[in-house]
C-alpha cells in the first residue's frame, strides 16, 4: 500500500517564517497598526484573513484587510529570488521518495510564491503533488488542506504522516486523522506543538532525516 508524507512548506522546508513576520509587520505598519512581531509569528500558518483577524481582533475595520494582505504579498515578494531552504529539506524529500513515499506539499502559497519556494527546496523530482490554498475552501487549522493532500496522494489516513512547524499544522493533521511530526525550525515551542497533537518533535528536516529509521515515518509500512 502506498504511503504519503504531507509537508507544510514555510517554516518546515523553507526558512521563511521570519521573512513573513517582517513583511506582515511592515504591511500592518503602513496601514497605521503597530503590532508585536511575536503576535504575528504565532498567527503564521493561518490564511491571510484569519491571520489579520488574529492579530487585530475580530472587531477590526475589515475594509483594510485586502490592502494589508496585498502589502504583505508585495513586500514578501521582494525575497523570492533568495528564499532559503532549511538544512536537509531537499535531501529528506529525496530520501523518502527513494523509499517509495509520495511527497505532497500542503501550503497556502501559490503562483510565483510557490515556484520560488520549490526552487529554494530544489527537490522537484521528489515531489508528487501540491495542495495549495486555491484548492480548498478553508485553510489550517481546518482539516481540509490535509485531507485534500492525502486524497491527492491516494492513501488512507493511516498511511499518511504530516510534517509541519506550527500549532495550526498539528491541529489540522489531528482533525484529519493523520499523525503528525513537528519541527522546531519554525520557532514555535516544543510544548505548544506537542499539546496541539504532534506525535514527535525534531529540530529541523536534517534531524528528521538523520533519525528517519527511528521516527514515526518508519512505522508506516507499504505492506
Give me the pLDDT at residue 104, please: 98
Does residue 175 share a domain with residue 96? Answer: yes
Tens of pLDDT, residue by residue over 90-143, are: 999 999 999 999 999 999 888 899 999 999 999 999 999 999 878 888 989 999
Q: Per-residue pLDDT for 64 more than 80?
A: yes
Looking at the fold, whether 53 and 157 belong to one and the same domain comes out as no
Express each pLDDT in 81-105 by its tens digit.
999 999 999 999 999 999 999 999 9
**For the CA atoms of 176, 69, 36, 86, what is the dihedral angle to 10 degrees?**
60
Residues 37 and 104 in one domain: no
- The pLDDT of residue 135: 87
Mean pLDDT across the chain, nearest whole number?
96
Q: Give me the pLDDT at residue 172, please.
A: 97
CATH number of 103's domain: 3.40.50.1000
How many domains, the chain? 2
* 161 beta partners: 5, 179
Mean pLDDT, to the nearest integer, of 173-184?
Answer: 98
Residue where the block lists cell 521573512? 19
Q: Do both 111 and 191 map to the same domain?
A: yes
Residues with Cβ within 8 Å of residue 74, at least 6 apart in sequence: none
Given this model, what pLDDT does residue 175 score? 98
* Residues 72 and 92 grouped into a single domain: no
Structural domain span for residue 145: 3-16+84-219
Say what the pLDDT of residue 131 is.
95
Rounded to an integer, the average pLDDT of 11-25 is 98
Amino acid at each position: 500500500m502506498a504511503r504519503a508524507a504531507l509537508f507544510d512548506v514555510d517554516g518546515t522546508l523553507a526558512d521563511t517564517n521570519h521573512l513573513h513576520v517582517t513583511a506582515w509587520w511592515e504591511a500592518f505598519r503602513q496601514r497605521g497598526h503597530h503590532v508585536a512581531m511575536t503576535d504575528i509569528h504565532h498567527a503564521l500558518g493561518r490564511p491571510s484573513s484569519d491571520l489579520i483577524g488574529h492579530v487585530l481582533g475580530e472587531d477590526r475595520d475589515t475594509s483594510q484587510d485586502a490592502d494589508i494582505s496585498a502589502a504583505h504579498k508585495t513586500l514578501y515578494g521582494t525575497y523570492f529570488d533568495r528564499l532559503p531552504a532549511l538544512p536537509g529539506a531537499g535531501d529528506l524529500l529525496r530520501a523518502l521518495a527513494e523509499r517509495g513515499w509520495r511527497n505532497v506539499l500542503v501550503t497556502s502559497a501559490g503562483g510565483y510564491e510557490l515556484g520560488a519556494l520549490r526552487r529554494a527546496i530544489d527537490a522537484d523530482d521528489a515531489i508528487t503533488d501540491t495542495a495549495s490554498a486555491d484548492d480548498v475552501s478553508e485553510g489550517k487549522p481546518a482539516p481540509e488542506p490535509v485531507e485534500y493532500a492525502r486524497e491527492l496522494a491516494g492513501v488512507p489516513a493511516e498511511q499518511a504522516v504530516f510534517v509541519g512547524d506550527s500549532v495550526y499544522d498539528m491541529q489540522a493533521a489531528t482533525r484529519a486523522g493523520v499523525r503528525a511530526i513537528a519541527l522546531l525550525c519554525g520557532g514555535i515551542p516544543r510544548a505548544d506543538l506537542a499539546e496541539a497533537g504532534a506525535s514527535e518533535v525534531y529540530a529541523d528536516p536534517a534531524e528528521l532525516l538523520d533519525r528517519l529509521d527511528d521516527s514515526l515515518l518508519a512505522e508506516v509500512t507499504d505492506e
